[in-house]
Amino acid sequence: MRSGLLAFAGLFFTWIFYERFWKWRDCIDEALSSCITPEGANLTSGGIFWGIFAIVFFILALFAFIRGRSKL
């Protein structure tokens, strides 16, 4: 159960990372600072930070899964 919740958090932060950085990375690189989406959102290269959260939660989920399996 715990590993599932951590994996869900990892997926959530992966989605945020994609929406706030990865999808717009070319525009952010060209502007060298920020990029305005058609919806009016201002995106910066700081959006890559969400990827760090995603990786951390996926690693925690993996450890929780392994720990739970070893108790069986």
pLDDT (tens digit per residue) in 1-40:
788 999 999 999 999 999 888 888 888 788 777 788 888 8
The pLDDT value recorded for residue 46 is 81
Q: What is the DSSP letter of 43?
A: E
The pLDDT value recorded for residue 53 is 94
Q: Tell me the two tokens of residue 55.
A: 């990786």
Q: Give residue for tokens 């929780």.
A: 64
Between 69 and 25, the higher pLDDT residue: 25
Q: Give residue for tokens 């159960």.
A: 1
Whether the Cβ atoms of residue 30 and residue 43 lie closer than 8 Å to each other: no
How far apart are alpha carbons 29 and 27 in whole angstroms? 5
